[in-house]
Amino acid sequence: MRLLVIVHVDTDDEELERFVERSVDRVGLRILPYLVVSWRDRATVERELYRIKNRAASRMERLGVRAVLETAVLQLTDEQYNSMRHIVRRRVDEAAGAMLGEARRLLGMVRGARSQRTLVERYRRLARDVERLANAALALDVRSPVMDELIKVMEEVRIEIRRVARR
């Protein structure tokens, strides 16, 4: 089962808008700023959207901001999902490409590193993001050569991080 999640935010508060946009990433794979494809079950998605709405409402009350936050969860048939699969694949490629660049920079830094603390922290953050994207690509049945390359480079980074950590 795949779901299409639409989130509508109408506010002048940019901070609240950014908060909602970042929070939506927990629902599934964001393919546009407020459009998400999710592979999770409907109850889980609706629970997460409810949490986002509650947190946004708390922020609005605390800051005295007026806003409208609406969501819609649509179940996609296989035919509907297949018709938009190219959009999902493009989003996976874009995200994997950005992470691949960061992974290669990190690999270069690790190979010439003397201090490991900040590199390990940076590696963990990137590894978490890569794992989230890889799980999304797998769950949404989207193969990507860029994603495969990213996983390969992350394996090299992991090996180098361990080597540096042993020193």
**Residue 118's pLDDT is what?**
76
Return the CATH number at 64: 3.30.70.240
**Residue 47's pLDDT is what?**
93
Do 105 and 42 share a domain, yes or no? no
The secondary structure element, H or E, covering residue 73 is strand 67-76
Q: How many structural domains comprise the chain?
A: 2
- Rounded alpha-carbon distances, angstroms, from residue 45 to 29, 58, 133: 12, 20, 17
The conformational region for residue 64 under phi > 0 = left, psi -120 to 50 = alpha, else beta, is: left
Do 161 and 130 share a domain, yes or no? yes
pLDDT in tens, 34-93: 899 999 999 999 999 999 889 888 888 888 888 888 999 999 999 999 999 999 999 999
Q: Is 127 helix (H, G, I), strand (E, B) or coil?
A: helix
Task: Fill in the DSSP letter of residue 113.
Answer: -
Tell me the sheet residues that pair with 38.
3
pLDDT in tens, 131-162: 999 999 999 999 889 999 999 999 999 998 88
Do 90 and 16 share a domain, yes or no? no
* Domain limits for position 141: 84-166
Do 108 and 159 share a domain, yes or no? yes
Question: What number of CA atoms fall less than 13 Å from residue 27's CA on the CB side?
Answer: 33
Cβ within 8 Å of residue 66, ≥6 positions away: 11, 60
Average pLDDT over residues 5-25: 86
**Residue 62's pLDDT is what?**
87
Do 24 and 98 share a domain, yes or no? no
Cα gap 109→96, rounded to integer Å: 20
